[in-house]
Structure 1
Amino acid sequence: MTLADQHCLPCGRNGQALTSSELSQALVELPSWDCIAGNAPKLECTYHFENFSEALAFTNAVGVLAEQYQHHPTLAVAWGQVRVQWWTHNIQNIHHADVVMAAKTQRIYNRLAPHAVR
């Protein structure tokens, strides 16, 4: 089963971050995504679109997904692009739910912008 087909389960304060090996394995399935360091590690991807309207439609679709799973990313919308970051606030790290949501986000992008330059 691919990551995008998995169900996102909530992570409590005692949830476990992915190990570096688990994260590396997940990133094989998420080649457009990077792990960025900072106060808390995050998964990040910037998606490109033909215009602002397409970027906003993608943002809204990701918002619907986030509400469905009660797991919310940081979304930065600009003309022709959207930067998405997933991480789990409770543990200030990357949890399995984040890689699942990143894969679901990628699936939305592939559906909405199948001809976009990646």
Structure 2
Amino acid sequence: MKKGITTKRIPVSPEEAANALREMPQWIVEKSRIYRDFRFENFKKALAFVNRVAKVAETVRHHPNILIHEYSFVRIEIYDHLLAGLSNYDILLIKAIERGLGK
């Protein structure tokens, strides 16, 4: 059996997502997506962060869109591809990413 969450995938409204993330205001809920921007000293540190997020995503078995841009900026964008909107998996992934960052 694969490791990861086994919780049933449940749709979440933007309002429910914003409420669940109220203690993490850096994450922006925008319609059917949630995103956060990060800035690093350099490209190498940005890439190391992306690799840490990838490990967390594999554990949760839910994968974000990740964009490295302008040398040292990273945008993490999360939504549920299967539901074409937000789900409880998005919230679980964000909380796992935050734990992985030590926050």
Q: Normalization by structure 2: what TM-score?
A: 0.81
Contact 2:14/2:29 (8 A) holds in 1? no
Q: Tell me the amino acid that sits aligned with residue 27 of structure 2.
A: W
Give the 3-state SS of the residue equivalent to 1:91 in structure 2: coil
1:34 aligns with 2:34: no
1:49-74 Cα distance to aligned partner (Å, 9 max, x none): 11111100000011111112221100
- Please say which of residues 15-24 and 84-93 is displaced more in the overlay: 15-24
Q: Normalization by structure 1: what TM-score?
A: 0.72
Contact 1:33/1:45 (8 A) holds in 2? yes
Any gaps of 5 or more consecutive residues in structure 1? 1-6, 112-118
Q: Which residue of 1 aligns with 2:88?
A: 96
1:67-106 Cα distance to aligned partner (Å, 9 max, x none): 1222110000121111001111111111111012112223
Any gaps of 5 or more consecutive residues in structure 2? none
Give runs of aligned pairs for residues 1-118 of structure 1, distance below 5 A: 8-9=5-6, 11=8, 15-37=9-31, 41-78=32-69, 79-110=71-102
Distance 1:85 1:10 in 2: 21
Alignment RMSD (CA, Å):
2.1
Identity %: 26
